[in-house]
Amino acid sequence: MPLHPVRLGCVIVAAAIAAGVVAQIATSPHSATPGNHYLASRPVTGQRPTGRPSHPKPAPTTAPVPRSTTRPAATNNQAPKGKVIYFTFDDGPQRTWTPIVLSVLAKHHAKATFFQLGIQIAELPDLAARVRAEGHTIGNHTYDHKSLTTLTPAKVRWEIEHGPKSTCFRPPSRETNAQIAATAAAYGMRQILWDVDTKDWSEPGAASIESAIMHGARPGAIILVHDGGGDRSQTVAALDRSLTRLARNGYRFISLPC
């Protein structure tokens, strides 16, 4: 039975719409999963998967889509770049232990970050320079390790100002608050804390320090150890063994960009 002209028109229009939809899906960069087209046009939050960056084309009538590089709000961590670990050495430079730490790091082709004190650098400027010359970075650990939360804002500024020049700041004993972090930011520094506290300052034994490092090791972890502040022989022994074991597990050791 021949179709009525009006019904025939409807069929043609419906067919044309269907064909258009098929064509749109086929030309969509997300044709495998058309639903992504809509997801992709929304701001992307959280970490994107690794691999090919996604740059959805915003529709002309919508606001520009933020590039999908959003990361969690800056905290103490760097975004991990594969199997890397950030060793950080606090309270130096120290005449005896910093050179020994440097030699252990060199033996393992490891780079690290040293959160140094202004008062120590004033005493041992050549050693501070050597740390940089050997490819490590230096962070600001204040002038002389006062508990910043007990100081007036003016004294906090003084402590930070008289620490080493850096873009990284670590408050002594993790004693900090929003105002202290903001003061550091005003000097162009971001606050860097840590993920793994080895408690090496309490001299718990090299095996205990090594165990803390190995249990805390994961991509991007920041590990706290010390080259200053006391006898660091346990730290050095634990460092040497940990670097061997972690390298065997595929880890690299790099400096924080400070």
Q: Which is nearer to Zn ion, 70 or 173 (CB)?
A: 173
Q: Is 240 a catalytic residue?
A: no
Phi, psi of 16 (to 5 degrees): -65, -40
Least distance to Zn ion from the beta carbon of 90, Å?
4
Taking CB atoms, the residue at the shortest distance from Zn ion is: 90
Q: Which is nearer to Zn ion, 220 or 230 (CB)?
A: 230
Least distance to Zn ion from the beta carbon of 96, Å?
17
Q: How many Å apart are CA 11 and CA 7, to the nearest integer?
A: 6
Q: Which is nearer to Zn ion, 91 or 210 (CB)?
A: 91
Strand locations in 159-247 (E):
168-169, 190-191, 196-197, 221-226
Least distance to Zn ion from the beta carbon of 38, Å?
50
Element (H, E) at 103: helix 97-107
CA torsion angle for 136, 137, 142, 147 (degrees, to 10)?
-80
Least distance to Zn ion from the beta carbon of 91, Å?
4
Cβ-proximal residues to 92 (8 Å cutoff; 6+ apart), any chain: 98, 101, 114, 116, 117, 120, 127, 131, 226, 227, 228
Cβ-proximal residues to 122 (8 Å cutoff; 6+ apart), any chain: none
Using CA atoms, how far residue 174 sits from 76, 193, 246, in Å, is 11, 7, 26
Site size toward Zn ion, by CB under 5 A: 3
Collect contacts of 183-188 with beta carbons under 8 A, ≥24 apart.
183/153, 183/156, 183/157, 184/140, 184/160, 187/140, 187/160, 187/161
Could you say which of 136, 141, 145, 226 is catalytic?
226
Q: What mask of x and - would describe binding to Zn ion in positions 155 to 194, judged by CB under 5 A?
A: -----------------x----------------------
Q: Which is nearer to Zn ion, 143 or 253 (CB)?
A: 143
DSSP 134: T
For Cα atoms 65, 71, 76, give the angle at the middle one, nearest 5 degrees: 155
Span 64-93, contacts to Zn ion by CB under 5 A:
90-91
Q: Is 226 a catalytic residue?
A: yes
Span 91-120, contacts to Zn ion by CB under 5 A:
91
Could you say which of 90, 91, 200, 240 is catalytic?
90
Per CB under 5 A, 200 contacts Zn ion? no
Least distance to Zn ion from the beta carbon of 107, Å?
25
Q: Which is nearer to Zn ion, 246 or 256 (CB)?
A: 256
Q: Which residues bind Zn ion (CB under 5 A)?
A: 90-91, 172
- Catalytic positions are 90, 226
